[in-house]
Structure 1
Amino acid sequence: MTGDDRLLPILRRVDQLREATQPWRRAGETIGLVPTMGALHAGHMALVARATAECDRAVATIFVNPKQFDRKEDLSRYPRDEARDARLLAENRCDLLFAPGVDQMYPQGFAATVGITGVSDVLEGLYRPGHFDGVTTVVCKLLLQSLPDRAYFGEKDYQQLTVVKQMVRDLDIPVDIVPVATVREPDGLALASRNVHLTPAQRQVAPLLHRVMTEIAEELSDGQTPAALLLPEGQQRLGSAGFTKIDYLALHAADTLEPLQHVDRPARLFAAAWLGKTRLIDNIAVDPR
């Protein structure tokens, strides 16, 4: 496929999506789904690359989901550029873009909510009430609408990935959830659509989140306890680096997301920190030595 976005079908309705994918299933072709909210970057393209490499067909979705925004300001500020996104998807050999409107996803009278407890109750769940209910509701709908064989999610949003895996297991949805490693800038900053809101000065500070987390992860692996290292020392390091507010800096089990007092199993170090009005999140693996 060339970079001409006219070659990329853009569908708006669920019946169109099902009609377009039905011949692929009849032919025995596998379908990979890449759910996004648009404002695509190299991290999203890594998901598309995995989908095109592992499946016969790749479908991307773009839907800025109002149900997962706990603040109206964040919803209104979320970057949108569908024409650019469609060109990127075409250049990366995506077969189809499903870009429904809010009325298509949540028609008048819509009253369902898909909620997953436990793994959604920590970290982001404490700071963004209702966020994961919005995520699981829309992801469940997208999986049922497109019926893919595999769906691809980035480890950048590791808690979201864990919540979606739990939902698929609990509801017996016949799809493999495939994690894809976080894509970073050369200086370590995790790619995120919200990075466009950083000022030049904030952009210079932003990579220090990953740098400080990496230092702390090494110390945790060497046997230091989270209680001694994360609070208040770790947060003070981030504050000294220039972050204006730290929501959390915490160690959790990689599978269940339960808080850990020691690195005695595969773990993840999670952080959420603010630079002005922009909130950055990141996570890295911490393994026992």
Structure 2
Amino acid sequence: MNSFGKYFLKRVFFMIITLWLIATITFFLMQLLPGTPYTNQEKLSPETIAMLNKQSGLDKPVIVQYGIYLKNLLVGDFGISFQFKNQPVAKLLAGRIGPSVQLGAQAIIFGTLVGILLGIIAAMRQNTWVDTLATLMAILGRSIPNFVFAVLLQYIFAMKLKVLPIAMWNGFAYTILPTIALAMSPMADSARFIRTEMVEVLHSDYVELARAKGLSRWQVAVRHGLRNSLIPLITLLGPLAVGLMTGSLVVENIFAIPGIGEQFVKSIMTNDYPTIMAVTILYSALLVFVILIVDLLYGLIDPRIRVSGGAKG
């Protein structure tokens, strides 16, 4: 087996271990919550609560519940939702993953592309008002929470200008405001990193040589500077994915988007253990998968980095 195959298998092994640890920690954290999903329902008698706990397996010893949970998890069975009676969690989330994935993909693509453009412009116009403006936008995008942007966007474009819908999920127009709100953080980080790297690259010897050969400043920036500047940006994909996941929890609720984030918040409010654990594992799986892709992209973007030894795990 070649070095790439060994590295890939090693990364997959650590992904599995990571997901197992996350599943285990999440399970036992759920056990620390007071009561059960049924104890918060005042209309239920103690006898009814005991019967429901037995039906859900909550009366079994914790270690037995853990064993059943892991066994079911291996076959993709996340259990039955406590919030929605007789509704498998997998089926419940399957109907909500589409909006969340679409929103997250749009946000990271839009935010990254705009951030790259701002970073290039800022580097090309270093120490000018353009650079200052781009830097200010990056600072605001990073320092202001995305839910604040969400409310501001709703107020300006939906309530005042009335050019975009304020909430719900019924076509592309409904995705514009939440996408922009979530994209602010990726935009800020991308712009900051691209500017920093581009400034350094544009002052390097090989770029000066390319300029001497007659290439324009923009040609040099795109052909030579941008490729090398993308390397640190790729390392941001993991943290950006985490930011989008956590940010979408609030943004989806603000815009009434029927996604996983909205369901996750509802599950926390109702102590819906299976759904909480399923969403946590799903988000974690997406994150470790993104990190794996980031490591593999290292070698594609910069041939000097060897997957077998250069990529850090």
- With the length of structure 2 as denominator, give the TM-score of the two structures: 0.24
Structure with more relative contact order (C-alpha pairs < 8 Å, separation 6 or more): 2
Q: Which has the larger radius of gyration?
A: 2
- With the length of structure 1 as denominator, give the TM-score of the two structures: 0.25
* Bigger share in helix: 2
* Bigger share in strand: 1
